[in-house]
Amino acid sequence: NLPIENIRSFSDAHPKPSALHFQYGTAGFRTLGSTLDSVIFRVGILAGLRSKRLDGRTIGVMVTASHNPEEDNGVKLVDPRGEMLEASWEAHATVVANAPTTDALLEALDALVKTAKIDLSKPARVVYARDTRPSGPALISALEDGFKALGVEARDGGVTTTPILHYLVKAINTKGTKESYGEDSEDGYYTKLSGAFKKLIAGKTKPDPLIIDCANGVGASAAAKLATYLGDSLPLILENTDITTPGVLNHACGADYVKTQQKLPPSLIDRLQPGQRACSLDGDADRLMYYYLDERGQFHMLDGDKIAALVAAFIVELVKLAGLESDVKVGVVQTAYANGASTKYLAERLPVKCVPTGVKHLHHAAEHYDIGVYFEANGHGTVLFSQQTQETFAKYEPSTPAQSTALNHLINLTQLINQTVGDALSDMLLVEVVLTHKSYAGAEWNSLYADLPNRLVKVVVSDRNTFKTEDAERRLVSPPGLQAKINELVLRYEGGRSFVRPSGTEDVVRVYAEAALKSQADELAFRVAGLVY
Ligand code: 16G
Ligand code: ZN
């Protein structure tokens, strides 16, 4: 049975704020950090129950609000293979978080135990971590109270990046098996990535120093550690590494700033030389944005779509060189936000699928390919190698030295890439490998295709839930009649494309538009926004 009295006494110390409703959305629970105490406490219990449900396999809990403002915080559960929480449990989490009183909470937990058929005699194991937000320590102690309330065997992952926490979950759960993901420690993570990187660039011209904007977040300490493992194989220059001054996290820096403002973080203006590569991480180091200044000082952004194009083309080439073209199929997954020019570039080379926004959709679609490359335009993404593909690599006998080299590169890529979730540091090493192999500077990479001008605007509406979409969010089915009006507008713009979807993380509706000219993309976006308003 549930330890009712124990849960009761802990829960009374973490009352739910009566006016608030919480929802486990695309990014878990995420809102003002000061309102999350009861939610995080309850997530502690929930994580334990999820572990019991899965026979004591270790569940991950990450306390972070990623690229959001510093005052925000959030929490996400990670399933045993290092992936996002199974969808059916998102609803359970929402119910448990909103029980108004301790009694109601106990009832909700009891109902969950019954509906999910949880065997309470099983062990509960959890590994947890947080980012650098000031609200983190208090929320972690609420989480730990949740663990104590249920009786969870909990391991503290400390202050670390979201992708490292995902790595730890998978490493713990695969320990000692033939699918072992690596040693279950931060050291194991850095050793695995840096080792694969060094092998992949062996014998090539060493990359020039790379500037990393760490968003004044947890990526600063992770990048500093990674630098020590990389040694001189990749010189890193770390910027925006202040994790103690209040208010600076994600402020005028970081991957989300670069993507949404389409400009250089002001703090880099005097640092970045024309032609030099730089990249930005977000507040929990799972998103990556590259950029450079050309000879005239003009800013050029290399976003998630450009990363997908670079990486997918490279992998397709390696598969061909290895002689594995007919055994191993590579595919790409994008969302409607992918620049139309990137979709065109990719679709000429390999299968491309479009899915709704949110990592879980991309990840699951990518699992259907032998090698699935997925990136959101915002810089979140990774590459998945199916278990069968990894076995194919292990068994394959190359017939020429060139095939053998390509095969080894592919095998090393499976080690370099954090396949659990998008990982800015792992993706950064991946980009550096491709640039090194191709002898590309930013300009050559950028010229793979030219981005279509685009514009994203948000519209505050009275109820965003009246906006319903289909076809991977590319068409509105409700409110009735609106899509027809959008279609009519789009027709008037050369190269025009526009779609409207409700945000999953903010109380707004987003409008995206693309057209052949920047002024036209802006105009289209604002006219569609006018229809929505
Ligand atoms: C979340 C998603 C991200 C998506 C964004 C869209 C995860 C881990 N994160 O941050 O992938 O791009 O939401 O936000 O799934 P929106 O719904 O507000 O546009
Ligand atoms: Zn993030």
Give the pLDDT confidence of 151-209 residue by residue, as tens digits.
Answer: 999 999 999 999 999 999 999 999 999 999 999 999 999 999 999 999 999 999 999 99
508 CA closest ligand 1 atom index: 18
Which of 272, 264, 354, 258 lies closest to 308 in space, CA to CA? 354
Tell whether 73 and 36 lie within a shared domain. yes
Tell whether 277 and 374 lie within a shared domain. no
Q: Is the CB of 501 under 6 A from ligand 1?
A: no
Q: Which of 260, 276, 302 is the last residue of a domain?
A: 302
Tell whether 298 and 317 lie within a shared domain. no
In this prediction, residue 478 carries a pLDDT of 97
Going by CA atoms, what residue is nearest to atom 19 of ligand 1? 503
Q: Is residue 246 part of a domain?
A: yes
Tell whether 410 and 460 lie within a shared domain. no
In this prediction, residue 432 carries a pLDDT of 98
Tell whether 241 and 308 lie within a shared domain. no
Tell whether 59 and 129 lie within a shared domain. yes
Give the pLDDT confidence of 363-379 residue by residue, as tens digits.
Answer: 999 999 999 999 999 99
> How many A from CA of 150 to the centre of ligand 2?
29
In this prediction, residue 342 carries a pLDDT of 98
For residue 350, what is the domain's CATH number? 3.40.120
Q: Is residue 446 part of a domain?
A: no
In this prediction, residue 78 carries a pLDDT of 98
* Cα-based torsion angle of the residue sequence 395, 401, 407, 411 in order, rounded to the nearest 10 degrees: 90
Tell whether 318 and 298 lie within a shared domain. no
- Domain holding 370, by residue range, is 304-421
Q: Is the CB of 504 under 6 A from ligand 1?
A: yes
Q: Does pLDDT of 504 surpass 90?
A: no
Q: What DSSP string describes 240-292?
A: ----SSTT-TTTT-SHHHHHHHTS--GGGTTTPPTT--EEEE-TTS--EEEEE
Tell whether 43 and 112 lie within a shared domain. yes
Phi, psi of 468 (to 5 degrees): -125, 140
For residue 138, what is the domain's CATH number? 3.40.120.10
Mean of pLDDT values over 73-97: 97
Q: 416-425, 500-509, 518-527: which range is least confident on average?
A: 500-509
State the CB neighbour count (10 A cutoff) for residue 275. Answer: 13
For residue 524, what is the domain's CATH number? 3.30.310.50
Tell whether 152 and 104 lie within a shared domain. yes
Number of domains in the chain: 4
Long-range contacts of 392-399 (CB under 8 A, 24+ apart): 392/324, 392/327, 392/328, 396/322, 396/324, 398/322, 398/323, 399/323
Complex ipTM value? 0.97
Reported as a pLDDT band with limits 50, 70 and 90, residue 533 is: confident
Q: Is residue 429 part of a domain?
A: no
In this prediction, residue 505 carries a pLDDT of 83
Q: Per DSSP, what are the bridge partners of residue 477?
A: none
Q: Is the CB of 28 under 6 A from ligand 1?
A: no
Among all bound ligands, the one having the nearest atom to the CA of 76 is 1
Please name the helix (run of DSSP H) or strand (run of DSSP E) that holds residue 115, with its range, or none.
helix 102-115
Tell whether 251 and 288 lie within a shared domain. yes
Tell whether 253 and 298 lie within a shared domain. yes
